[in-house]
Amino acid sequence: MSLPLPNSDALAASQALQRLIAAEIAEQGGAIPFSRFMELALYAPDLGYYSGGAAKLGQDGDFTTAPEISSLFGATLARAAAAIMAQSGPNIIEFGAGTGRLARDVLATLAQLGVQVDSYTIIELSGELRARQQEALKDFPQVRWLNGFPEGFRGAVLANEVLDAMPVELVVKEGGQWRRQLVTVEDGRFAFVQGEPDAALREQIRAQIPDADTLQDGYLTEVHPVAAGFMRSLAQMFKGGEGGKGGKGAAILLDYGFPNREYYFDERTGGTLMCHYRHHAHPDPFFLPGLQDITAHIDFTAMALAAQDAGLDVLGYMNQAAFLLACGIGELLLETDPEDALRYLPQSKAVQKLVSPAEMGELFKVLVVGHGIEADPAIVRADRSYRL
């Protein structure tokens, strides 16, 4: 691959992480599950992609997210959050807040709307990103940071491109049986070998992949036990409520992915795993561990079922375009005078990127799950959960 070379400090950090992973492989008898490799590559203390110091977002990072494209994205989510808080409580949790841009836009919009926010809690694992967030949000005293789920919660939860950063299991069909992809070291390099799935993984395969027995030999794909566990933790948090009496609220989860009937197409024989490095996308998860993002598309059917089985209501599912339009991004755009071309045209172009089927509008989906509240009428009108 012809990719930009890192500087000497970044390369040294990656090499240190590679030694750490290789040591764990040796300790575990010569191989570890790919999910564990991905966890270390992304989250190993001080060395993983999200826990190290490399810039990740924006022009100097590896990819650009929707909040960085337009402040209207956050303004639109603010409207959706306000509708949730009106039925629950004046609180917001955001998972994986990136540069803090989304939080800033949401809070600024809610202030303009006169909507009170008592607390805006950010759950962020990256020390580098947390520092950026603290600088960006220093004028908002209601913002605080946590390392994990609170016991109970009433309000709105936002999670933009969070699920895709959770470790996945890679499985491959061989000889009519599903095999687990493991990572070993061969000739000083990481390489894949196959192993037997344990009982939990076999159950995840059975639950997640429709018609798993009919897929062809050589078919490689992902399953998402960590993301499914995240959905169960959301349910536990909402149901804990205040004093364990049962909470109220909803979570809006935005990410790229498909329902399972589209995720496990016969033709998608190589899965969806993808890596991002300096705005280059490529498929090699072993390239410079710690310096690149590793992601997989989301199986939204599996996420909805995990939430539902844990006691949450599936309030809506739709593509990003339908969600943003239903929540008023078009109206927000028109608050800028179209005659003012210098201001209007850049915003219009950004909204087009967010909603166009050829850009982010179709690939990105939105899942809304909640407890103790009714779906907002705008969400009901846009809902396509029958596609799950």
Q: What is the pLDDT of residues 342-376, one digit of tens each?
A: 999 999 999 999 999 999 999 999 999 999 999 99
Q: Which residue has the tokens 């070291």?
A: 185
pLDDT of residue 326: 97
Query: Per mean pLDDT, which range of 161-165, 245-249, 280-284 is the poorest?
Result: 245-249
Interatomic CA distance for residues 309 and 311, integer angstroms: 5
Confidence of residue 58 (pLDDT cuts 50, 70, 90): very low
Phi, psi of 216 (to 5 degrees): -75, 155
| Strand, helix or coil for residue 376 | coil
**Mean pLDDT, rounded, of the chain:** 93
Domains of the chain, by residue range, sit at 66-165+227-261+297-387
List the alpha helices (DSSP H) in 28-70.
34-43, 66-69
Looking at residue 118, the DSSP 8-state letter turns out to be S
Could you tell me if 227 and 305 are in contact, meaning their C-beta atoms sit under 8 angstroms apart?
no
61-71 confidence digits (pLDDT tens): 556 899 999 99
Residue 222: name the closest of 4, 35, 17 by CA: 35
Interatomic CA distance for residues 304 and 231, integer angstroms: 8
Question: E strands along 127-248, which residues?
Answer: 143-146, 155-160, 169-174, 177-186, 189-195, 220-223
Confidence of residue 297 (pLDDT cuts 50, 70, 90): very high
Residue 207: name the closest of 264, 161, 274, 255 by CA: 264
At 213, list the tokens. 């027995």
Residue 327: name the closest of 36, 75, 17, 153 by CA: 75
Confidence of residue 240 (pLDDT cuts 50, 70, 90): confident
Query: Per mean pLDDT, which range of 177-186, 209-218, 284-293 is the poorest?
Result: 209-218
Long-range contact pairs involving 335-341 (C-beta distance under 8 Å, separation at least 24): none
Confidence of residue 2 (pLDDT cuts 50, 70, 90): confident
Indicate the pTM of the whole model. Answer: 0.94
Parallel, antiparallel or unpaired: strands 249-258 and 298-299: parallel
Residue 259: name the closest of 186, 339, 318, 211 by CA: 318
Interatomic CA distance for residues 21 and 183, integer angstroms: 10
pLDDT greater than 60 at residue 245: no
At 56, list the tokens. 């990740």
Mean pLDDT on 301-330: 97
Mean pLDDT on 235-241: 86
Parallel, antiparallel or unpaired: strands 293-295 and 298-299: unpaired
Topology given in CATH for the domain delimited by 66-165+227-261+297-387 = Rossmann fold (3.40.50)
pLDDT of residue 57: 47
pLDDT greater than 80 at residue 60: no
